[in-house]
Amino acid sequence: MSVLLLAELDNGALSASTARVAAAAAQLGPVDLLVAGPRAAADQAATIAGIAKVIHAKEAVLADGLATLLAGLAEAYTVIAAAASTTGKDVMPRLAAKLDVQPVTDIVAIEGATRFVRPIYAGNALETVTDLQAKHVLTFRPSAFRPAASGNAAPIEALDADIVSAARFIAAHRTESDIPDLSTAQIVVGGGVSVGSAEGFKLVEALGRTLGAAIGATRAAVDAGYAPNDWQVGQTGKIIAPDLYIAVGISGALQHLAGIQGAKKIIAINTDAEAPIVKIADVALIGDLFDILPKLTAELEKSGLKR
């Protein structure tokens, strides 16, 4: 099976999840990686292990243009795949319908060439499907796969297609910060609405900074304006699988838990010993976050972490 994989870009730079979905795609066959962005991103993509060829196209970010671009290349491939990111979610179903294919999305495990596992009901059930179609349109959850190694030097082929879109890009409102990428972070500190204010949320961010962690938030915290929308973790936000997740003042609603099921270890800080998050946490400290967080951050600062 030959695979065409859409590289995941963030503001023109190759994103960390590309190497993860490349590892997933490589389980299905030789992978050609489509980079619709700057040449530097294509150069970096060519170093990912398992990539047979990088196809470098003009920059495209809008769904209709990207779907048309992929559709133009689709004939030569059995599998067309992408990350289950907001780009992949936007583009791949559109492409699938163009090709008259039922897509299989959010894949968390590959059990055979055409057999895939995907979560449903906010991760409260796992569905195993066999894709009986001749062509497959797939998206993979980056957090469910380990990244492919680097060191490759795949050839780069330029594709001179013009990308047309009926939609027009007006502006990006990016959350700029120097904290690690949430979807691929090794440590995540998450804050809930009980921090009470954007100021209160800073306590969560301070602990995160000490640990070199990414920051997550509940929908309630984002709705309240304490954290930006792209920090939301859960059914409608990001799916994370860190080695360590520290949930601060978070109840553990099933829609939030949907985003953290892949976490290796969960630590909960909560006033309520009966909170659902405490019931599934590996370690819990029952108490007031306003009292605990400053002390915890100071204690960890003192301990001289190896990071």
Partner 1 sequence: MKILVAVKRVVDHNVRIRVRPDGTGVETTGVRMSMNPFCKHAVEAAVQMAEAGHTEEVVIVSIGPKPANDVILTALAMGAHRGVLIETDQALETLAIAKLLAKVVDEEKPDLVLLGKQAVDDDSNHVGQMLAALTDRPQATFASAIKLAGDELEVTREVDSGRETIAIPLPAIVTADLRLNTPRNAALPMVMKARAKPLAIRPASELGVDLAPRLKVEKVSPPAERSAGRAVNSVAELAAIIADDVNAMEAI
Contact between residue 252 and residue 277 where contact means Cβ atoms under 8 Å apart: yes
Q: How far is the CB of 298 from partner 1 (least distance, A)?
A: 9
Interface of this chain with partner 1, residues 232 to 271, rule: CB under 8 A: 235-236, 238, 243-244, 246, 254-255, 261, 265-267, 269
CB nearer to partner 1: pick between 183 and 194: 183
Of the ranges 29-37, 52-60, 191-199, 274-282, which one interacts with partner 1 (CB under 8 A)? 274-282
**Residue 220 in the binding site for ligand FAD (CB under 6 A):** yes
Whether 179 contacts 228, CB under 8 Å:
no
Contact criterion met (CB below 8 Å) for 169 and 113:
no
Whichever of 32 and 106 has its CB closer to ligand FAD, that residue is 106
According to CB under 8 A, which residues from 168 to 197 bind partner 1? 168-175, 183, 186-187
Q: Which of 68, 69, 65, 88 is nearest to 137 (CA)?
A: 88
Assess 50 for contact with ligand FAD (CB under 6 A).
Answer: no
Phi–psi pair at 267, nearest 5 degrees? -115, 130
Contacting residues for 190 by C-beta, under 8 A, at least 6 apart? 204, 215, 216, 217, 218, 233, 245, 246, 247, 248, 250, 260
Query: Measured between alpha carbons, how far apart are the two ends of the chain, in Å?
Result: 42
11 binds partner 1 (CB under 8 A): yes
Which residues inside 44-103 make contact with partner 1, applying CB under 8 A?
Answer: 62-64, 67, 85-87, 89-98, 100-103
Q: What is the largest CA-CA distance in the chain?
A: 60
Q: Does 278 participate in binding partner 1 (rule CB under 8 A)?
A: yes
Q: 256 touches which of ligand FAD, partner 1, none (CB within 5 to 8 A by kind)?
A: ligand FAD
Rounded least distance, CB 85 to ligand FAD, Å: 15
Beta carbon nearer to ligand FAD, 136 or 141:
141
Contacts for 241 with CB less than 8 Å, ≥ 6 apart = 143, 144, 262, 263, 264
How far is the C-alpha of 35 from the C-alpha of 156, rounded, in Å? 10
Query: Which residues of this protein are in contact with ligand FAD, per CB under 6 A?
Result: 192-194, 218-221, 232-237, 249-251, 253, 255-256, 259, 269-272, 275, 288-290
